Amino acid sequence: MGGGAERNADLKALIRTIPDFPKPGIQFRDITTLLLDPAGLATSVERLAGMADGPIDAIAGIEARGFVFGAALARELSVGLVLVRKRGKLPGKTLTEDYALEYGSDSLEMHHDAIPQGARILLVDDLLATGGTALAAVKLLRGAGAEVDQSLFVIDLPDLGGASKLREAGVSVESLVEFEGD
């Protein structure tokens, strides 16, 4: 975890836990309370920026909450923002990556001309759980010719294994806070 647990305890305290959402047994980590706190949001972005390992050509934010942190981080680092969206949300020609979910499948898309060949892309999202969506985003970006070797998250749920999967794919993983046992 980037920045150390003690350093980021202030941010962790701003993240609300909602038990049994969206189904019994799930401890939902709700960042809306962090977003409502101006100092907490600013501190989150500053600390994420401090963990970025440049040079970086652009940030890739994963729909939807990854857009919030991705846009703020892109501004902080003076780079562009690539939107990685669910299927059918982008106009024009897109590239698509299908991926498996626990019960079914989903797809991510980005504009086919969003990044030049060889661009160094930093992947950003609010939460890392099983890693399925993040891995699909990495495949999508790499398929477009990008170099993707680092990712940043506000929250990591390490017991769900997403960080390990990303690392196995050659992507470093850093987060501001971790919640064990989820």
Quote the DSSP letter at residue 80.
Answer: E
Position 174 scores a pLDDT of: 97
pLDDT at residue 6 in the model: 61
pLDDT at 3: 47
Q: Select from 127, 149, 129 the least CA-distant residue to 138.
A: 149
**Structural domains in the chain (count):** 1
Residue 129 included in any domain: yes
Among 47, 65, 174, 178, the one annotated catalytic: 65
Q: What's the pLDDT score for residue 182?
A: 60
95 occurs within a structural domain: yes
Q: Would residue 109 show up in a list of annotated catalytic residues for this protein?
A: no
The tokens for 122 are 């930093």
pTM: predicted TM-score of the whole model, two decimal places? 0.94
- Alpha carbons 130 and 26: distance in angstroms, whole number: 14
99 phi and psi, to 5 degrees? -150, 160
Q: Within a domain: residue 2?
A: no
User: Cis before residue 22, ω within 30 degrees of 0?
Assistant: yes
Asked about 102 being catalytic, the answer comes back as yes
Does 4 map to a domain? no
As given in the structure block, the two tokens for residue 97 are 């990556």
| Residue 19 is assigned to a structural domain of this protein | yes
Q: Is there a contact between 154 and 34 (Cβ–Cβ < 8 Å)?
A: yes
Q: Which CATH number belongs to the domain containing residue 100 in this structure?
A: 3.40.50.2020
Whether 169 maps to a domain, the answer reads: yes
Task: Determine the structural domain holding residue 168 and report its residue range.
Answer: 9-178
Asked if the structure places residue 3 within a domain, the reply is: no
Mapped onto helix, strand or coil, the DSSP state of residue 138 is helix
Examine residue 24 and say whether the peptide bond preceding it is cis (omega within 30 degrees of 0): no
User: What pLDDT, on the 0 to 100 scale, is given for residue 104?
Assistant: 78
Beta bridge partners of 76: none
Predicted pLDDT at 106: 92
Residue 1 forms part of a structural domain: no
pLDDT tens digit at each of 182 positions of the chain = 444 456 799 999 999 999 999 889 889 999 999 999 999 999 999 999 999 998 999 999 999 999 999 999 999 999 999 999 999 999 999 999 999 876 778 999 999 999 999 999 999 999 999 999 999 999 999 999 999 999 999 999 999 999 999 999 999 999 999 998 76
